[in-house]
Structure 1
Amino acid sequence: MPPQDTTNQLAIDVPAQPKKRTRGELQSAIKSARDIMRKDAGLNGDLDRLPQLTWILFLRAFDVCVEEEREAEILGYERVIQPPYDWKSWGARTEFTGKEFLDFVNMKLLPYLRDLRSDEEGDPRNVISTIFQDVNNRMLSGTLLRDLVNVVNDINFDSADDIHTMAFVYESILKEMRDAAGDSGEFYTPRPVIRFMVEQSFLRLGESILDPACGTGGFLVEAYEELKELPRSQAELAELHHNIRGMEKKPLPYLLGMMNLLLHGIDAPNVIRTNALRKMREESSPRHRVNVVLTNPPFGGEEEKSVAAAFDSAGVGTHETAWLFLYSVIERLKPGGRCAIVLPNGVLFGGGVGAKIKQKLMRECNLHTIVRLPQGVFAPYTQIPANLLFFEKAGSTKETWFYEVPLPEGRRGYSKTKPMRYEEFAACAKWWGGEERTGREATEYAWKVDASEIAKGGYNLDLSNPQAGGDLTHRSPGDLLDELIKTEREILDLLGELKAELRHL
């Protein structure tokens, strides 16, 4: 009897390995998705299209990266999202389309996701419920919605390479979102600034790391990327995931941030949607404190009365968001904890309540370094000069080093097409002196000031580089004009603070 031909049987038993998607292929898929969304009358611009794409991507990625992985690893695993609401029941069914499909998404799927609940802390059901509380399908055509879901369904997420590539593509979309949002008054931290702040914080495995204004998750993703190769067991990896913590008040950045963290490998992000100032004020016990804070809090805005009133007992009578965040961060740190925070010039030179908070900062913490960024780092959204403050809750400040990052030679500023580059921090990183900050010396860009001198000056931290010199004859007309503009802005900031305080008297 001739041997049986098993070729076809082998083809069935040994599934083909999923084809890895190149970055170009994924970018092409995302472009197709955006082209489909442009045809739908319910979506207007990227501020509508990106959230629409994001919640669909989230469900697809959650199905593959969480549900399928846990089914393969855990015997008897019960899916978080049950049929008929799991991806296979609606997302993968290409024949499910038109009005019936649209009605299912609007009237059944999204309400189901909003109502997921669990009493167990850290359960993904609670995460999904929080994410989808403010998510709505904005598309009006069931056919176009089906086409969009089909494009997302073709993204495999079947390997770590696919996920990392998708994360890269997604971050490029986020950058476009930031550009669009910046025109609406929201400013996001440039990636080179985030990377520098994370690296100079010298993160360690086992530390709790918080961004109380996490937005789309830039600081949290960078912190995780810095530490993710260090865990030696699943228990250590799970602890790292839990220790990457965030808070975000607005629903859209919260959704984008959760998606960003999921794509980078954190399947149950420890991020809550809340007003961080109110939350941190309510949670004042030592068990809520953290080892590290990395953040760029909102500035130039005012908090509502109920939030500001929560700080009255601390003697912090202000509605200015940046001041309240700085005060809250100091309180949130564990003994020995450390912080890297972006703050505008108005905080550095502000008096009144601001001086009181800076006095608290220097008495309770070692404000060891202030990095003065070149003007226009956040251009074109704002020209307000920004600074990076690094401090640790380990005794009072004795001296503060200042480092002025210069503009690249031949440059007058930054723009969307010519943003700040990470390489511009190289000289500062070299000067830093490692985790112990050893061997620091004064240079043309670096100088130190005794804490007693800062106190005598009313805790004004807007201190000029003494190496720059005061001889106006050696300064260009452009530099003099920049200095005049800076001074006028500082005056306007002070007048704005005064007006805000008078309004609330």
Structure 2
Amino acid sequence: MNNREIVQKLWNLCNVLRDDGITYHQYVTELTYLLFLKMMKETGHDYIVTEGYRWDDLVSKDGIELKDFYKLLLFELGKADNELLKEIYRDATSYISEPKNLEKIIKSIDALDWYSAKQEGLGDLYEGLLEKNASELKSGAGQYFTPRVLIDIIVQLVNPQAGERCHDPAAGTFGFMIAADRHVRSQTDDYFALPEIDVNFQKHQAFSGVELVKDTHRLATMNALLHDIHGQLVLGDTLSSLGEDMRNYDVIMTNPPFGTKKGGERITRTDFTFTTSNKQLNFLQHIYRALKINGNARAAVVLPDNVLFEGGTGAEIRRDLMDKCNLHTILRLPTGIFYAQGVKTNVLFFTRGKSDIGSTKEVWVYDLRTNMPSFGKRTPLTEKHFEGFIAAYTSENRSEVQDERFNVFTREGIAKKGDSLDIGLIADESLSIYDNLPDPIESAEEAVGKLEQAILLLNEVITELRAVEGPMTTQEDGVYETEQQQELLQVAEASEGYKA
């Protein structure tokens, strides 16, 4: 049995939990709690798990006893002395309410072909689960999930080297850093070509990241562990004061979250020259300021179109970027690759200059968006689609590249356009507007996924409102709520009725 088959078997177990109302993302989190214990046993690292709360202790129980023991296990491991256990089980909560469902999942995991899984790599198995989760429109987890093929292409072109400090300030599940580690291993005979002191650096210092969301940080920690990466993976907000000390990196590769800061509030960083509530612009500021000033430190950042043309502070940040860095390449990405229709993104490649003025002389733009297929779940992006871009990017003389998608713009010309970088898109040759319509099946699946997410949120509102204390009024059915609660409950319950 190969890892793909094992991933599918694990994924199919999610059907067992549907009656418990568990989402795909919650299921992957639940699997992480269980898989960690099983994998520690399979790799001979059971000793780090608190005695009495190991995999064998779990599989020896059933029924109500199993459910009660599992809850106790999550609590105890969450306050263990071992830092790794704390990272995986901090504030862990089980979403499984039926003991028989928990028992079935544990026994199914125990019965899998773990010999084959270890031969192929437990890290690859876990990454397969994360990718499966991202590809499910209903989960919402993949709305801005960076496709593996795009990560691999970016890492290949940025080309991190042994001895360099690589960082992702919006780490997600740590995909960029795991791909970077894989890339360096491929150049160094899986690190066997390096002295022991350098191997230690690669495993413990070379790759780091920051992730804001607790559950995602948990998945990232597990992912790093299974790939034998033990660098600093911080739970926190890069755009807070925490990020002020994150500097002097050789390589930064990231896909920051889209949107504005909640409530439109401005960030609390005191080291930024420009203030804005736009998250991507702030991440961009952080990234080019966090690179080493040595003429070789480099970054690749996935950003939405608005970063390229937003006026005011946006133009000032782009101007500052082009002064401090050589923004040598922009890749205009196709739509539909982030499991959400209509999301338009780009990859900015830049190198930190040795001075803070005039580092960018010209910008090359590759249009991989216009006249491209409609990508989505049924038409995935593949490495073949990047062949033209890779050839153009790596060319020793870019001016000799014969590719209509690859065009150059001088710094002076960009300045005349108000420092807008919304450039380089070629003429659209579509014969009909119908050629660019999204896939109807994928659009319907996406709509269903969003409705289900909305219903889940409304149910959470109902639960929270029922717990609120306040002046009470009586209803005929004997349920007591405030008048404001009644109004909100009517809206929420009407939405639930619409679903039915």
**TM-score where L is the length of structure 2:** 0.76
Check if 1:137 corresponds to 2:101: no
Structure 1 match to 2:275 = 317
Matches for 1:101-500 after TM superposition, within 5 Å: 101-106=66-71, 108-117=72-81, 125-155=82-112, 157=114, 162=118, 164=120, 166-180=122-136, 184=140, 186-229=143-186, 230=188, 231-232=191-192, 233-242=195-204, 243-266=206-229, 268=230, 270-278=232-240, 280-283=242-245, 288-303=247-262, 308-311=267-270, 314-335=272-293, 336-379=296-339, 381-395=340-354, 396-406=359-369, 411=373, 413-433=374-394, 441=401, 443-465=403-425, 468=426, 476-478=431-433
Structure 2 match to 1:10 = none
Check if 1:61 corresponds to 2:39: yes
Task: Give SS of 1:198's match.
Answer: helix
Check if 1:37 corresponds to 2:17: yes
Structure 2 match to 1:121 = none
Deviation of 1:356 after TM superposition, in Å, equals 0.9
Note closer, same or farther for the CA distance 1:168–1:408 as it changes in structure 2 (3 Å cut). farther
Deviation of 1:241 after TM superposition, in Å, equals 2.2
Conserved? CA contact 1:251–1:273, under 8 Å: yes
Task: Give SS of 2:51's match.
Answer: coil
Conserved? CA contact 1:341–1:390, under 8 Å: yes
The one-letter amino acid of 2:368's match is: V
* Alignment deviations for residues 485-504 of structure 1 (CA, whole Å, 9 cap, x no partner): xxxxxxxxxxxxxxxxxxxx
Deviation of 1:331 after TM superposition, in Å, equals 1.2
* Alignment deviations for residues 27-85 of structure 1 (CA, whole Å, 9 cap, x no partner): 464256434434xx4342323322111221122223433616xxxxxxxxxx3323112
Deviation of 1:207 after TM superposition, in Å, equals 0.9
Q: Structure 2: where are the runs of 5+ without partners?
A: 438-500
The one-letter amino acid of 1:426's match is: E
Structure 2 match to 1:26 = 6
Q: C-alpha separation between the residues in 1 aligned to 2:350 and 2:94?
A: 44
Q: C-alpha separation between the residues in 2 aligned to 1:151 and 1:269?
A: 32
Q: Percent identity?
A: 26
Task: Give SS of 1:200's match.
Answer: helix
The one-letter amino acid of 2:118's match is: D
Deviation of 1:23 after TM superposition, in Å, equals 3.6
Note closer, same or farther for the CA distance 1:189–1:133 as it changes in structure 2 (3 Å cut). same
* Alignment deviations for residues 203-255 of structure 1 (CA, whole Å, 9 cap, x no partner): 10111111111112221221121112412355433321221212111122222
Structure 1 match to 2:482 = none
| RMSD between aligned residues | 3.0
Aligned length: 424
Q: Structure 1: where are the runs of 5+ without partners?
A: 1-20, 69-78, 118-124, 483-505
Note closer, same or farther for the CA distance 1:156–1:309 as it changes in structure 2 (3 Å cut). same
* Alignment deviations for residues 79-99 of structure 1 (CA, whole Å, 9 cap, x no partner): 3323112333x13xx432222
Task: Give SS of 2:303's match.
Answer: strand
Note closer, same or farther for the CA distance 1:430–1:66 as it changes in structure 2 (3 Å cut). farther
Structure 2 match to 1:100 = 65
Q: C-alpha separation between the residues in 1 aligned to 2:435 and 2:136?
A: 32
Conserved? CA contact 1:248–1:254, under 8 Å: yes
Note closer, same or farther for the CA distance 1:172–1:354 as it changes in structure 2 (3 Å cut). same
The one-letter amino acid of 1:105's match is: Y
Conserved? CA contact 2:254–2:302, under 8 Å: yes
Note closer, same or farther for the CA distance 1:234–1:25 as it changes in structure 2 (3 Å cut). farther
Q: C-alpha separation between the residues in 2 aligned to 1:206 and 1:130?
A: 26
The one-letter amino acid of 1:62's match is: M
Note closer, same or farther for the CA distance 1:476–1:181 as it changes in structure 2 (3 Å cut). closer
* Alignment deviations for residues 420-451 of structure 1 (CA, whole Å, 9 cap, x no partner): 111110111112226x7766536311111111
Task: Give SS of 2:418's match.
Answer: coil
Note closer, same or farther for the CA distance 1:451–1:408 as it changes in structure 2 (3 Å cut). closer
